[in-house]
């Protein structure tokens, strides 16, 4: 088994999900008492969130690249960044290490293509929805043309992530608001939905939504398991 290096804490809520899913995946594949070989560097999310608001992506990238180097030093054979938003600095992290960087949008794009979905609605933080690093990666590498909610919908999705989900708050009222955003996306031509923030799976599941859903946290965790056991 190859050791996976996790850069987590963004937020701690979703990092817990990564840890559980990767261990469950290894146990399911190998049976018995097996679990995953993992090393975790968990950052203080307050510091990263402050850099996000300031738009200081270079400093955030340098800090996460330093975390990746530490994980490589202690034996990680690949890096998994446990957040969608901070893949904005994925190039800086990948360049800082000699081991593979498992990009979350690659896991997502491959799943979308396999399902025949080409125009997903991307639900994520404002940074992920409004910048091109994620949508552009899906388009360039996978031929996926993601669409995003309108301005009001983007505000709804973003605010619920930062005000509730990262704090472990799961509200039925917020679920209903998300489902209205999804409904509007379907009317705009979306053929599927990307849970493009690692906390969204806490709030929505496939049983809530008529369109096919792609939970990036689960897909990324599966990619980590596949790498570990390859």
* pLDDT at residue number 41: 98
Alpha helices in 31-103 (DSSP H): 45-54, 57-73, 90-96
CATH topology identical between 4-103+219-229 and 104-215: yes
Cross-strand pairs, 101: 79
- DSSP summary character for residue 220: H
Residues 64 and 28 sit within 8 Å (Cβ to Cβ): no
Residues 193 and 121 sit within 8 Å (Cβ to Cβ): yes
**Where along the chain do its domains lie?**
4-103+219-229, 104-215
Query: Which residues, in sequence order, are CB contacts of 66 under 8 Å at separation 6+?
Result: 96
Residue with the two structure tokens 């209205």: 180
* pLDDT at residue number 204: 98
Catalytic residues: 83, 197
* pLDDT at residue number 4: 98
* pLDDT at residue number 68: 98
Residues 174 and 160 sit within 8 Å (Cβ to Cβ): yes
Instruction: Output the CA torsion 64→69→70→72 (10° steps).
Output: 130
* pLDDT at residue number 195: 98
Residue with the two structure tokens 């552009």: 136
Report the residue count for the chain.
230
How do the residues of the chain divide into helix, strand and coil, expressed in percent and rounded to 5?
60, 10, 30
Rg (CA), the chain: 17
Q: What is the pTM of this model?
A: 0.97
Q: Helix, strand or coil for residue 121?
A: strand
User: Domain 104-215's class?
Assistant: alpha beta
* pLDDT at residue number 84: 98
Q: Which residues of the chain have pLDDT under 50?
A: none
User: Domain 4-103+219-229's class?
Assistant: alpha beta
Cα–Cα dist 56/40, whole Å = 24
Query: Which residues, in sequence order, are CB contacts of 173 under 8 Å at separation 6+?
Result: none
């Amino acid at each position: 088994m190859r050791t996976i290096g996790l850069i987590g804490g963004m937020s701690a809520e979703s990092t817990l999900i990564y840890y559980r899913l990767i261990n469950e995946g290894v146990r399911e594949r190998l049976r018995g008492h097996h679990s995953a070989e993992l090393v975790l560097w968990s950052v203080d999310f307050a510091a990263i969130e402050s850099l996000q608001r300031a738009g200081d992506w270079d400093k955030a990238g340098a800090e996460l690249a330093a975390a990746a180097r530490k994980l490589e030093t202690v034996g990680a054979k690949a890096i998994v960044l446990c957040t969608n938003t901070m893949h904005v600095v994925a190039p800086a992290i990948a360049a800082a290490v000699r081991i593979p960087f498992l990009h979350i949008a690659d896991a997502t794009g491959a799943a979308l293509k396999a399902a025949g979905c080409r125009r997903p609605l991307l639900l994520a933080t404002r940074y992920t929805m409004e910048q091109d690093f994620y949508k552009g990666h899906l388009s360039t590498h996978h031929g996926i043309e993601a669409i995003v909610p309108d301005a009001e919908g983007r505000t709804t999705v973003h605010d619920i992530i930062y005000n509730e989900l990262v704090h472990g708050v799961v509200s039925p009222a917020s679920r209903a608001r998300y489902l209205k955003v999804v409904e509007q996306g379907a009317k705009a031509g979306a053929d599927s939905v990307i849970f493009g923030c690692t906390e969204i799976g806490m709030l929505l599941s496939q049983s809530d939504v008529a369109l096919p859903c792609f939970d990036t946290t689960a897909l990324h965790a599966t990619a980590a398991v596949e790498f570990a056991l390859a």
